[in-house]
Amino acid sequence: MMNYTIIIPARYASSRFPGKPLAMLGDKTILQHVHERAMESSAAHVIIATDDERINEAAQSFGAATCMTSTEHSSGTERLAEVVEQCRIPDETVIVNLQGDEPFVTAASLDQVADLILQAPDYEMSTLCHSIDDPDEVADPHIVKVVLNECGDAMYFSRAPIPWDRDRHGSVSYYRHIGLYAYTARFLLHYAELAPCELEKVEALEQLRVLYHGKRIKVGITEDDSVIGIDTPEDLQKAERMIAG
C-alpha cells in the first residue's frame, strides 16, 4: 500500500440530480461503484464523507468507512478539510479527493495523482490532465482546460479554449483537466481558510482559488480518460450503456 488516504465527498442534495450517489448503476449504487474503484487502488484508507444519513447508512451497508460532516460546506474540498479535523489526520498525510459520482475512475489514476506529491514533497496539491485532439472538445465550456509551464505546474484553468491560437498555427497543445486532486492534510486545512476569489466565481472552478493565492499545483499528464463524472440523469443513462457495452 502507498501512504495516502482517499476521501469521497458525497452529497444527497444535488440541484441537477438529487440523490445522485444512491442512484442505481447496474446492480449497485453509483457510490458503491466509486468506493470499489477506490478500494482497488494502493491507498491505505478510504473514507466516504457525507452530510446525509441516507448516504451514511448506504455506505456502511457495503462496508465503507464513513464520516458525517456539516451541511454548510460550499465545496467538496471544504468537506474534506472537516474530515481531516474530525479524524485528526496527520499534517503530512496525502489525501486524494475522489468525487462520489465518478464510477469509472481507475486505480492507476488514483495512485498517479497521489504519487505526484509523494515524490515531490515541496508541493502540497496535485491533479491530472490528458491531451485533447478534438476541436469540439477544446471549444466546449463543459470541458475544463489547463495550461502548464515547463515544470508541469498549472498556470491557469478555464472553460474557455486556452491557449488561444491567435494566428492559427495549429501546433498548440491542449489539455483537458481531470477532476482528481491530491493534497497534504495540512494544505486542506489551509485551503478552508483561503478567501474565495473572483476568478473562481466567474469560471465556477474552485482550484483557481489555489492559484490566485500564489500556491502551486503539480499536474500529471495521463492517457487515462476514464474519469468521467455523472452530473445528470442523462449522464447516468450513458454510464449504463457503458457498463452494458
* Domain definitions of the chain by residue range: 2-127+175-195+210-236
pTM, 2 dp: 0.92
**CA separation for the pair 218, 155 (Å, rounded):** 10
CA distances from 68 to 54, 96, 103, 215, 224 (A): 11, 18, 22, 29, 32
Q: 2-127+175-195+210-236 adopts what CATH topology?
A: Spore Coat Polysaccharide Biosynthesis Protein SpsA; Chain A (3.90.550)
Question: pLDDT tens digits for 130-187?
Answer: 999 899 999 999 899 999 999 999 999 999 999 998 888 778 899 999 989 999 999 9
* Pick from 214, 210, 206, 151: nearest CA to 179: 206
> Residue for cell digits 473562481?
200
**CA separation for the pair 114, 103 (Å, rounded):** 18
Least confident of 14-23, 80-89, 148-157: 14-23
φ/ψ of 158, rounded to 5, equals -160, 155
- Please state, rounded to an integer, the average pLDDT across all residues of the chain: 92
Question: pLDDT tens digits for 180-208?
Answer: 999 999 999 999 899 999 999 999 999 99
Q: Which residues contact 190 (CB under 8 A, 6 or more apart)?
A: none
Give the pLDDT band (50/70/90) at residue 1.
low
